[in-house]
Amino acid sequence: MPSDKQASGPVMQLLASGLQLWVRQQCQSVESLDIDLRGSALALLRGRLDGVQLLARRAVFQHLPIEQVQLQSTVISVHMGNLLKGQPLQLEQPFVVEGQLSFTAEGLAALFAEPHWQGLAEQLREQLFGALGLKALRIEVDQLVFVLQGSQPSEQIELRVVVRAAAGTIELASPTGETLVQLPMDPGISIERAWIAAGMVQLSGRARVSP
């Protein structure tokens, strides 16, 4: 977003490059990444950046594929001395980001095959599927659809759930509104809204980032 506080110049470009590298180091992979900085070079040399806006596409964070990430941060304290000497960027204080994440059906299905998310996958299987196996997952207009293997090889069962936010986390509910499962959430993350749009699951919320 354009702003009279959006800044450019060699110091800001140096920091933008440092932030790009820092963000990429937090992820397993990122297909594209755009970062806009807000503030002034003078404030930056004093260790203050007014904020950052980030847009990433097809990122893998903590082994979970995310189709799109849109975030903006609060004020960030940075240590420019090391960066000016050609050393890696050092962020000094925790900061808050808020924004939106978008997940495809393929990205969500990867959760069930990823060892890093085994605990959550097992919880979902236990509370949603029971002894049935998951064959596929798709996203319809306003529902997640789990396609399950029935007791017979030719039998398939569809479990339809609604995605919503509640108490800072994500709930999966029946189409009639009954809560089926509430996902565990990191205490530093608060989900404020969850819905389906553009064929993807959309989440918006806030998170505290500790460097």
pLDDT in tens, 123-169: 999 999 988 889 999 999 999 999 998 878 888 999 999 999 999 99
Nearest to 158 by CA among 176, 183, 140: 140
Which position has the higher pLDDT, 114 or 12? 114
Q: How many CB atoms lie within 10 A of CB 199?
A: 13
Residue 175 is predicted with a pLDDT of 95
| pLDDT value of position 50 | 93
Opening angle at CA 27, ends 80 and 147, nearest 5: 155
Query: What percent of the chain shows pLDDT beyond 90?
Result: 70
* Chain center to CA of 37: 20
| Residue 1's pLDDT band (cuts 50, 70, 90) | very low
Map out the domains of the chain as residue ranges: 10-93, 105-209
CA 73 to chain CA centroid, nearest Å: 14
pLDDT of residue 128: 93
User: Which tops the pLDDT comparison, 25 or 86?
Assistant: 25
Could you tell me the pLDDT band of residue 8, with boundaries at 50, 70 and 90? low
CB pairs under 8 A, 24+ apart, for 16-22? 18/83, 18/88, 18/89, 19/52, 19/89, 21/88, 21/89, 22/88, 22/89, 22/91
pLDDT tens for 15-59 read: 889 899 999 999 999 999 999 999 888 888 888 899 999 999 999
CA distances from 149 to 89, 113, 125, 135, 192 (A): 49, 16, 12, 6, 33
What is the arithmetic mean of pLDDT over 176-198? Answer: 95
How far is CA 93 from its chain centroid?
A: 21
